[in-house]
Amino acid sequence: MKKTLIMALAVSFLGSAHAKKKNDGEGVNVKVTVKDEDGKPISTAVLRHPEEAERHRVNSLTGAWEDTNLYLPDGSELVFTPGMVLMLEVSAPGFMTQVIQYDVRKRKNAFEVVLAELVVDEQDVEEPMIQFGRDKPRDVGGSGPAN
pLDDT digits (tens, 9 = 90+) for 33-77: 999 999 999 999 999 999 888 899 999 999 999 999 988 888 888
Write down all domains in the chain, each with its CATH number in brackets: 26-119 (2.60.40.1120)
Flag whether pLDDT at 87 surpasses 60: yes
Q: Where are the alpha helices (DSSP H) in the chain?
A: 2-16
Rounded to the nearest 10°, the torsion over CA 8, 11, 14, 16 is: -80
Residue 30 CB-density burial (10 A; 0-12 exposed, 13-18 middle, 19+ buried): buried
From edge to edge, which strands make up the β-sheet containing 85-91?
A: 56-57, 46-48, 85-91, 98-103
